[in-house]
Amino acid sequence: MSTKNEESYQWACEISLLTNMTMLLHSQKLMVRWGIGIGVFLAVVRLLLGNATFVEALLTIAIVILGFSALGLVGYVIYCCIRGGGFTSSYTLDKKNLRENYVPYKVQKLPNPKGLSGLIDILSSRPGLPGWGFVWATGKSTSTVPLKRVRTIKARRRLGHIKVSLGLDHVYVYVRPTDFDTILNYLREHCPQARVSGCD
């Protein structure tokens, strides 16, 4: 934990996209779902038109799923390259909001960053290839989650993160092992409406 005061917690974690598979698994789940949906649609169309047997229709679904999965993997590799292989997430958690800021590894390698705040300054003040590439890849470099809107909290101690969901939208909160229980209990206390799971 970097700092703690009466109103909030502040901390930062480095995440390697090459060793932490959370984002890869999440992207693959999304691509497989898209593949199933489009594959089933194409298979039904082929069956209705009489252009395929039932086995061929199933093969169509499998091919589409594999194609989307491969496309997702290629996209993840490009994402890793843009991110420089990983990123640092800094968090501020208070009684009302969870704020998250991403800083790619490429930005961290720029000269004289002077700590995390300096890295954030570089990202915002030097929108060259690292900065704009990062924004293009993520759509946003910062996010704010109102705690009163949180619906579910899923703790994944072995993976080192807490998944905070607001319906369809969600945020992965990466926490060091020594701070995991502290952050989880704080979220539980300030999100009484949320369903908590996976605390073991």
Q: What is the CATH number of the domain that holds 156?
A: 2.30.29
Instruction: Indicate the pTM of the whole model.
Output: 0.63
Rounded to the nearest integer, the mean pLDDT of the chain is: 77
Say how many domains are in the chain.
Answer: 2
Residue among 47, 29, 27 at smallest CA distance from 37 = 29
Same-domain pairing of 41 and 69: yes
Per-residue pLDDT reduced to its tens digit, 15-31: 887 777 777 888 898 89
Same-domain pairing of 43 and 119: no
Same-domain pairing of 125 and 61: no
Per-residue pLDDT reduced to its tens digit, 130-150: 333 333 344 346 788 899 999
| Domain residue limits at 112 | 3-16+86-197
Tokens for 74, please give them: 């290629």
pLDDT score, position 5: 57
